[in-house]
Amino acid sequence: MNELFQTKQTDKVSKLEIAAIQLAISFSEEKDIPSNYKKSSKRTQKVNIDTQIQIRFKKNVKKWKNTISKMLEHIKSEQAWRFINLKPLLITNLESVTQHPDFIEFTDYFVLRRDTQSCDHDELGCLAELHTAFQKEIEKKINLNKPDFVSIDFEHASRHKGSVCSVGIVSFKDGKILDEYYSLVKPPQNKYEWFTTNKHKLDASHTEKSPEFTEVYSEIKKRIENNIVVAHGAFHTDKHCLEQAMELSNINEDLKLLWVCTQDICNSKLDVACKVCQIELDHHQALSDAKACGFLYELYRKNELPYDLIQFEKTHEQSIKENKSQFPKSLKGDVLKPDFENAKNKDNPFYMKKVVVSGFGNKEKESLAAELKELGADVDTSVGKKTNYLIIGENAGPSKLKKMQLNINEGKEAFIITFAEFNEMKKQHIANNPRLA
C-alpha cells in the first residue's frame, strides 16, 4: 500500500491527511498519481500543481479525508484505524472471512452508512473499495495461518475412551510446528484403571486439580475444527476419545474433521516407526505422541516415509518378542499345595492369600512360586473370584489382568502388583518386624 508514497509526515500534515493520501494512491491507477508521489519519479523540475492530474488527485484525497473523518466519528478509533490501514486483527482457525469480527463490524458500518444514513456517492464509492480491500487482507491472513493439518493424541484413564486424562495437539504448516497445546484433564470421578496407568503412568494424583474436559474443549475445538486431524490409531482410539468425551460432557457439535491414521499409513506401532525415522518419542505422553505422528505424516506427504524399512524393523522386533515369550509352562506339583503350618512367618501380607503369578519366564515363575509357598501363600495357576494377588511380569496374560481388574472393580480384596512391588511389600514387612531381619 505504501510503495508509491513519498510524503513524509510532518507537523503540517495530519495523520488523517497522510492516510487519505495513502488510500488515494492505493486505489488509483499509476497514470492518475502525481509524479511527486511516485517512488520511481526522478524530479528534475518543479511539478506543475495546476495540472489536471494534480487537480483530480486533490479531489480524490478530499473524498478519502471525508470518508475517514466520518468513520472516526462513528467507530472506535482503534478499530477504525485498522480498517483504514488495512490491518485486521490476527485470528487463527477461521473457516471464512464472514466469521472475522473486524469484517462483521466493517460490514455493519458500511450498511449503516449506505442504507440508514444515506451517505453521498463519493463516500459510498470509497467505502466499497476499502471494504473489498479489507476483505482480501483477511483472506490472506486466514490462508497464512491455517495449518496444513493438526496432529492429536488423547490418553484415557479407563477402558472407556471418553475418560480423557491428557491431550496433546500440534499444528503443522509447511513442515514446521505452527502451534502446540498440552493439558492434563481430570477424567470422570478422577477414576483410573490399573492397565491404563501402566501405559501412560498417569493416575488420580496427577489430575486431581486439573481442568475437566468441558474446560479444555474450547482449546481443542479452536485448533482442530474444519481441519485434517492426524492421529496414530485414529479410528480405534483418538476419534472415539474425542467423540465419547464430548458425549459425556453433553457437547453436541459437528467439528467437520477429516481424520487420518498414521498407524494405517505406516502399518506399525508408533515407537517402531519413530525408531526407523529417528523421531524423538516419549511414548504415551500425549504431546510427544502428537508431535511424532505429525512428523510421520509430514514424511508421508513428501513421499519420504521409509515404509520398507519400517516393515523390516517391525518384523525384526516381532521375532525378538516371540523368542522371548515362548509359552511358559504352567506351574504344577507341590508348589500348588499350600503349607500354612510351616510358613516362614504367619503375619506377612501373603499368608493364606490366593496368589497367581503371570508374565514371567519358567525359571523366574517357579522361583517366585516357591518363595510364595514359603510365605504361606496359596499359589494358583488361574485368576478366580477369590484371588487376592496377581503378581505380573513383562508379558502378563491379558485374560488374567481383565479378570483381576473385575475383582478390583467389584470391591473385593484384590490387587495387581509388579515383581518390584512384591519385593517392596516384603521389605516393608521385615522393616516393621525387626525380629524377621
Q: Which residue has the cell 524377621?
A: 436
| pLDDT score of 140 | 81
Instruction: Answer whether residue 10 is part of any domain.
Output: no
Burial track 18-31 (b if 16+ CB lie within 10 A, e otherwise): ebbbbbbbbbbeee
In this structure, are 316 and 342 located in the same domain? no
Instruction: Answer whether residue 2 is part of any domain.
Output: no
| pLDDT score of 62 | 94
Instruction: Answer whether residue 1 is part of any domain.
Output: no
In this structure, are 274 and 165 located in the same domain? yes
In this structure, are 289 and 302 located in the same domain? yes
Q: What domain range is 391 assigned to?
A: 333-436
Show the beta-strand stretches assigned E in 122-163: 149-156
Instruction: Answer whether residue 4 is part of any domain.
Output: no
In this structure, are 277 and 296 located in the same domain? yes
Q: Which of 201, 170, 186 is nearest to 245 (CA)?
A: 186
d(CA 355, CA 390): 6
In this structure, are 177 and 304 located in the same domain? yes
In this structure, are 141 and 153 located in the same domain? no
| pLDDT score of 8 | 45
In this structure, are 32 and 71 located in the same domain? yes
Considering its fold, how many domains does the chain have in total?
3
Phi-psi region for residue 413, left (φ > 0), alpha (ψ -120 to 50) or beta?
beta
d(CA 360, CA 354): 18
Handedness of CA 161, 167, 171, 175 (dihedral sign): negative
Instruction: Answer whether residue 257 is part of any domain.
Output: yes
Q: Which of 154, 183, 182, 147 is nearest to 298 (CA)?
A: 147
Instruction: Answer whether residue 368 is part of any domain.
Output: yes
Amino acid at the residue 259: W
CB atoms within 10 A of CB 406: 13
In this structure, are 61 and 190 located in the same domain? no
In this structure, are 396 and 318 located in the same domain? no
| pLDDT score of 433 | 59
**Series of mean pLDDT values for 10-residue runs along the chain (437 residues):** 42 78 90 76 47 87 94 93 91 78 93 91 93 89 80 97 98 92 97 94 96 97 94 96 97 96 96 96 97 97 95 86 66 91 86 93 88 93 94 90 94 93 81 53
